[in-house]
Structure 1
Amino acid sequence: MINIGLDLRINTDLKFEYGNDTFGPSPELRHLNDIRKSLLDQSASGPDTVYSIAMDVGRNKDLVDLKNRMLLFGAVVYNKGQIGREPVRSQGHIHAISSSCGSSTPEVYEIWSGEAVVMMQPNASNNPKECFAVHAQPGDVVIVPPSWAHCTINSRPETELAFGAWCIRDFGFEYKDIRKHHGLAFYPIVAKNQLGWLPNLTYRDTYLIEKKARKYEDFNIESRIPIYKQYEDDHDKFDFVTNPDEYKNKWFNYRP
């Protein structure tokens, strides 16, 4: 696992251990039955624990500032394996409108180990048009903008996937439209040790753009420096996460 800027370790049972200067909760587990409504095959078998997630992780010295900013750091580890023909993944969601800022909010991912695809589309209506599959490796950052539907996929099923993420402290999720369509616009399919895509026919006129994670100089994100360390060096750097309406120019015609 890359240097993540925190004294945090992941056990083999998808649990987290925190160092003396680091706070964090016992993780919440997400089970296969929790995500079935978004699967290609809703009766598929796979690992019972899909992933574990610890929301609100950080250094003890930063807790007051993080709370004042409504900023929250999460740690996530995905199980290895497959769910039927699909790799282990989340069901997908849209960030709900947060009461603290009055809008949907973005999320900043940083891959720690394994490989991921962050699947995202501008909405979960019948016709989201452009959809993106962003391939990310350890050290890569991926930003999901406000109001976009998205899910995270473990694109190397033979190993676990671990990542961290900045989000707003009063986060909430909307699932209705995604569940109505039984997932996002494309399903990830594992075939001959490669990841492919199967269109979700409940959507119309969609197309998929596959790409590698890009650099985010437009957000002043520095490459190969842990995003938690970047927050420590500049506490204002991730204000676009908690006050997205003040950064509307960054979301207009956004390209992952």
Structure 2
Amino acid sequence: MEVFMSNPGFDVKIDTKNLELIYGENTFGPVIEKRRLDDIRESLLDYNAKGPDVLYGIAMHVGDKKDKQIIEEKNAVYAIVVYNKGQIGNEPIRSQGHIHAISKFSNKSTCEVYEILLGKAIIYMQESGSDDAGRCYAVYAEENDVVIVPPNWVHATINADINNNMAFGSWSVSDYKFEYKEVREHKGIAFYPIVKDGDIEWIKNDNYSDGSLIKVKAKEYPEFNITNKERIYTQFINNPDNFDFVANPDVADHLWREF
């Protein structure tokens, strides 16, 4: 067992060897669910690529027991995801990509607020799952960085360091569902991440007619009243109204239009 003290704002440890979470006495959370290589083959550059059987473990709706009521009142969930290290063929360990489904609370797709707890990540997002993917961003993020993915955008999470584990925490709507149909129809996201000489390069997916990739570093989000100087879990508990846009994207409609 290799244990990392993640300190996302409550008592939980990350077992990076087994891709598990160790909950403290006052922490609630489910048994972590494992995502396997065979689950994402349809979205890979090479369908037959070899790699670790388990790519990552995900636990939705975790937190401190004393905070559970306010989290549920805000129709939100905090998740922790622990990524394996290594490669899938020539690609880094990653998710297949999805869009957040329509939520019953807003009748709209919803956003996701990421925070990197361990290692280095690339949060990939594209404006559309249609043939024209629109604007595509590869957001390079390190520990403590925050990244927001807008509603309706396809997004995938990539471990940017093949030699080390990665973990992130995130806020999303409590009735979360993931839509994979458009991504799978295009055999993946619009740009495939490829490992070359220890770095990540990108290859366009020809199943899309158009799309432009922009590589950026994670930034601050003062317009959302969110900072990377404090854990997003703690920020939510201290100022839950600041995160109303997670379950109700309309409250930040003017910000999404300028995203």
TM-score (norm 1): 0.97
- Trace 1:34-113 onto structure 2 (pairs within 5 A): 34-113=39-118
- In structure 2, the gaps of 5 or more residues are none
Of residues 150, 171, 188 in structure 1, which corresponds to 2:176? 171
Q: Identify the residue that residue 10 of structure 1 maps to in structure 2.
A: 14
Single out whichever of 121-130 and 73-82 deviates more from structure 2.
Answer: 121-130
Could you tell me whether the CA contact under 8 Å between 1:2 and 1:139 is conserved in 2? no
1:192 aligns with 2:194: no
Q: How far did 1:3 drift?
A: 3.9
Letter in 2 for 1:204: S
How large is the RMSD of aligned CA atoms in angstroms? 1.0
Q: How far did 1:253 drift?
A: 2.7
* Over 6 Å off, 4+ runs: none
Could you tell me whether the CA contact under 8 Å between 2:128 and 2:134 is conserved in 1? no
Could you tell me whether the CA contact under 8 Å between 2:120 and 2:160 is conserved in 1? yes
Q: How far did 1:237 drift?
A: 1.6
Could you tell me whether the CA contact under 8 Å between 2:29 and 2:61 is conserved in 1? yes
- In structure 1, the gaps of 5 or more residues are none
Per-residue CA deviation, residues 186-244 of structure 1 (Å, 9 max, x unaligned), is: 00000111110001011123211000001000100022200011012112121110111
Q: How far did 1:2 drift?
A: 5.7
Q: CA–CA distance in 2 between the matches of 1:20 and 1:144?
A: 32
1:118 aligns with 2:123: yes
Q: Identify the residue that residue 230 of structure 1 maps to in structure 2.
A: 235
Of residues 125, 130, 134 in structure 2, which corresponds to 1:129? 134
- Trace 1:194-213 onto structure 2 (pairs within 5 A): 194-213=199-218
Q: CA–CA distance in 1 between the matches of 2:173 and 2:135?
A: 26
Q: How far did 1:96 drift?
A: 0.3
TM-score (norm 2): 0.96
Q: How far did 1:129 drift?
A: 2.5
- Give aligned-pair identity as a percent: 49
Letter in 2 for 1:33: D
Q: CA–CA distance in 1 between the matches of 2:240 and 2:113?
A: 15
Could you tell me whether the CA contact under 8 Å between 1:77 and 1:163 is conserved in 2? yes
Could you tell me whether the CA contact under 8 Å between 1:120 and 1:144 is conserved in 2? yes
Letter in 1 for 2:126: Q
